[in-house]
Chains A and B, each alone.
Chain A
Amino acid sequence: MIYLSQIVNGIGLGMLYFLLAVGLSIIFGLLHFVNFAHGAFYLLGAYLCYALLQHGIDFWWAITLAGLIVAAFAALVEAGLLRRIYRLDHMYHIVATIGLALMIQEFVIIVWGPVGASVSTPPALVGVVMLGNFIYPEYRIFVVGFTAVLALVLWWLLEGTRLGAIVRAGSESSDSISLLGYDIKRINTAVFALGAGLAALAGGLATPIRGLDPFMGVEALAIAFVVVVIGGMGSFTGALIAGLLVGIVQSLMATIWPEGASLAVYIAMVVVVLVMPRGLLGRA
């Protein structure tokens, strides 16, 4: 029974990982740009959400605003800096975004201090739900439901709208999109902002579960990488399946061998790479 409850926990965690990784994944799909600052956007989202809550702002508004602020910031960074370096080798993308991530991390420490904090669950979601024989916190059910709705909206955005069609076409060839008369620069900025906003949202949603600390960005970046290595870059379904897999493995291991819970995630990744070198969905 305890395992069943951990699997439900894992689904909640996995949906957060999906949210985190899908942003990284669509940014790479369109821009062919590895964003090492993705974890820092998650970190910034978590802290902004915390700060807004501290000022008495309602949880819903706090996560929404945190996502929007980070998206706006990311749009500025993309238009002001990253756009200039797309033509360079991947190494420079990585170095520049490591630099950006360091600056965001240090900024967070300067503003909020090096010690972490815990965030209380929003009052409306404090209760517990009885699922069969075991007690289950309402907030975690909320996370699963909320991220599932978000995932559907995102799927519709990517698969069902004109913007999504442009983004998918742009992933194949950004030149042809420009030739069709679309302003690829604005689309790039929008997609980068969307990806960063999703990471920030994941950060905000994660805070009542895992608390806050200035180094959570690095951990998030590594998890996002595991998810896209397993699921494949630029794949929505891949990110979803891999995110859930990682979340469930981590939650199950937390009851079996707590010290090794994080370790198990990386071992799972190695197994997938060995057995299926192209990742679960085989697009690489």
Chain B
Amino acid sequence: MNKPLFHFALAVLVAIALPVLVPSKTLCSEVLIFAIAVAGCNLLLGYTGLLSFGQGIFFGLGSYTLGLTLLHSSLPLVVALALASIVGGLVAVVIGGLAIRRQGVYFVMLTLALAQLFYFLAYSLSGITGGDNGLLGIPRPGVGPFDLNGALAFYVFTAIVFLLIFAALQRVVVSTFGRTLLAIRDNGERAQAIGFPVRLFKIVAFAISGAVTGLAGGLHAALIGIAPLSSIDYHLSESVLIMTVIGGTGNLFGSVLGAGFYVIVSSVLSAIWPRWMLLLGALLIALTLFMQKGLWGLIEAAVSRIRDGGPRRSRSAIRPARGEKP
């Protein structure tokens, strides 16, 4: 159940099944794009114990970078995406370096305030970002001989990028580096005492998360052809965080589930009832009360019940409650 190869196989399965099950190929692309961003958030929250409210910064900057690159040059799409990723990663080093100066709840509040800073920055610098309107009319060049203008063609491209990123993140979390992040998550002071450079590791985790999220932002701008102001706002940071928690923290495939659930359900519900977020709010409260391990936790519990005929404590990434030190 926890073998990386098995999880990768599940990710491949999702990438193949999505366009078969979901009629809108644009929606399919959106699911996988957010799955990338959510996996990036999960690396911080689930594996490093850092609740970042600033993922929208990297997503938005990725969108703007891709938009500006493709609008003002004839560089290929892959280069533009790489630039989006680099900008996301570099800014994440700065944001991470600043935010980890404060710990715990101060860290969370600081990331939220920094997200607001970048939102207002994008809003104020309307000469570059298009301000309220965003960057409009971003072209979508093909890759080599392949034309990506069709929705399905772009989905295939997105799916390939998604699988590459998924596999890369899997490598990161099983590496010594990834294991050390878990040690930092579970007890930062102990990891520090053992001699790990905790701050550096946290900043590197931020850099990877920012690069991955920036890439997702770039893909999103290429998908919708604009880089809107809403790609860098509070709501985006909040949605990515919500998807991460709904999917289940500390498990990369959980992020795919969280993104899929949120993107598809929000698309269906918002068409029926514009005030669907009322239900989302209720779901989040129910989640904290009854299913703290998210969708992946539900699946794990179901599988172990079938396998063992009874519930079993899973190895999922729930941190110990306040008061009971590990």
A and B interact physically: yes
Interface string of B272-293 (1 = CB under 8 A from A): 0001011011111101110010
Report the Cα distance A32→B104, complex, angstroms. 11
Q: Which of A88, A229, A262 is in CB contact (< 8 Å) with B106? A: A229
A110/B278 contact (C-beta < 8 A), A98-B238, A226-B113, A273-B110 known: yes
Nearest Cβ on chain B to A189's Cβ, whole angstroms: 18
Q: Are A88 and B105 touching (Cβ within 8 A)?
A: no
Return the 5 tightest CB-CB contacts between A and B, nearest first.
A99-B284, A102-B281, A266-B117, A103-B281, A106-B278
Q: Could you tell me the distance between the alpha carbons of A50 and B62 in the complex, rounded to whole angstroms?
A: 40
Contact A90 B108 (CB under 8 A): yes
**A/B interface sample: 25 pairs, CB < 8 A:** A88-B292, A89-B318, A90-B51, A94-B51, A95-B242, A95-B245, A96-B285, A96-B288, A98-B242, A99-B280, A99-B284, A102-B284, A103-B285, A221-B112, A222-B113, A225-B112, A225-B113, A226-B113, A229-B106, A229-B113, A233-B106, A259-B123, A260-B120, A263-B117, A266-B113
Contact A88 B322 (CB under 8 A): yes
Q: How far is B126's CA from A32's CA once the two chains are assembled, in angstroms?
A: 40
- Given contacts A91-B245, A263-B121, are A100 and B51 in contact (CB under 8 A)? no
Q: Which residues of A contact B318 (CB under 8 A)?
A: 89
**B179 at interface, CB cutoff 8 A:** no
- Which B281-326 residues have a C-beta within 8 angstroms of A? 281-285, 287-289, 292, 318-323
Q: Tell me the residues in window 211-227 of chain A with beta carbons closer than 8 Å to chain B beta carbons.
A: 218, 221-222, 225-226
Indicate which residue in B120, B277, B289 contacts A105 across the interface (CB closer than 8 Å).
B277
Do the beta carbons of B285 and A233 come within 8 Å of each other? Answer: no
Residues of B within 8 A of A228 (CB): 109
Distance in Å from the Cβ of A243 to the closest Cβ of chain B? 14
Which A residues are in CB contact (< 8 Å) with B106? 229, 233, 284
B133 at the A interface (CB under 8 A): no
Report Cα–Cα, A98/B285, bound state, in Å: 9
By the criterion CB–CB under 8 Å, are A96 and B51 in contact? no
Chain B interface residue count, Cβ-Cβ cutoff 8 angstroms: 46
B105 near A90 (CB under 8 angstroms)? Answer: yes
In the bound complex, how far is the Cα of B277 from the Cα of A142, in angstroms?
A: 38
Chain A residue total in the interface (Cβ 8 A): 47
Q: Mark A249-284, 1 if CB is under 8 A from B, else 0.
A: 000000000011011001101100110010000001
Interface 1/0s, chain A 94-138, versus B by CB < 8 A? 111011111101110110000000000000000000000000000
B234 at the interface (CB under 8 A from A): yes
Does A87 sit within 8 A of B, measured CB to CB? yes
Can you name the residue of chain B whose Cβ is closest to the Cβ of A277? B101
Cα–Cα, bound, A266→B113 (Å): 7
| Complex Cα–Cα for A91 and B250 (A) | 13
Residues of chain A within 8 A of B234, CB atoms compared: 218, 222
Interface of A, helix, strand, loop or mixed by DSSP = helix
Q: Mark B220-249, 1 if CB is under 8 A from A, else 0.
A: 000000000000001000100110010001
How far is it, in angstroms, between the C-alpha of A89 and the C-alpha of B101 when the chains are bound?
21
Select one of B109, B121, B123, B280 contacting A102, CB under 8 A.
B280
Chain B residues near A81 (CB, 8 Å)?
A: 285, 289
Question: Is A92 located at the chain interface by the 8 A CB criterion?
Answer: yes
Minimum Cβ distance to chain B for residue A46 (Å): 18
B124 at the interface (CB under 8 A from A): yes
User: Which residues on B sit within 8 Å (CB–CB) of A222?
Assistant: 112-113, 116, 234
B190 at the interface (CB under 8 A from A): no
Within the complex, what minimum Cβ distance (angstroms) separates A80 from chain B? 11
Q: A284 contacts which of B102, B114, B323 (Cβ < 8 Å)?
A: B102
Report the bound CA distance from A265 to B171 in whole Å: 40
Q: A224's closest neighbor in chain B, by CB?
A: B109
CB-nearest residue of chain A relative to B287?
A95
Besides A32-B322, A225-B112, 17 other A-B contacts (C-beta < 8 A)? A81-B285, A88-B322, A90-B105, A95-B242, A96-B289, A98-B241, A98-B281, A99-B284, A100-B285, A110-B275, A218-B234, A228-B109, A233-B105, A259-B123, A262-B116, A263-B124, A266-B117
Q: Is the CB of B321 within 8 A of A100?
A: no
With known contacts A91-B45, A274-B98, A106–B281 Cβ distance under 8 A? yes
